[in-house]
Amino acid sequence: MATPNTPLWEVFIRSRNGLAHKHVGSLHASDTTMALQAARDIYTRRGEGLSIWVVPSTAITASDPAEKGMMFEPAESKIYRHPTFYEVPEEVGHM
């Protein structure tokens, strides 16, 4: 009997500076325990992090790159969402 392909996982690591977990790459493992161990061996050999998340790649739903124009247009046309849109006289100082 052919062995099924080993599932793919996405690896996220939180570095020691306290920032959010960040995607660092992917790996293959047959279950969560092995995925965590492999993530440690592959992605944290030089003190890259203090916490690891592994997520089955199949659990990720991604936006469609072909739709990105429509998807992100609303953010681009609303310049009043940025602080630089508003005028504050120089005398007032830093705000």
Contact positions toward other proteins, by CB under 8 A?
A: 3-6, 8, 25-31, 34, 41-42, 45-46, 62, 64-66
Nearer to other proteins, 31 or 88 (CB): 31
Q: From CA 52, how far away is CA 78, in angstroms rounded?
A: 36
CB 45 within 8 Å of CB 61: no
Nearer to other proteins, 64 or 90 (CB): 64
Q: From CA 20, how far away is CA 56, in angstroms rounded?
A: 19
Nearer to other proteins, 25 or 73 (CB): 25
Q: How far is the CB of 18 from other proteins (least distance, A)?
A: 22
Q: How many helices (H) and strands (E) does the chain have?
A: 2, 3
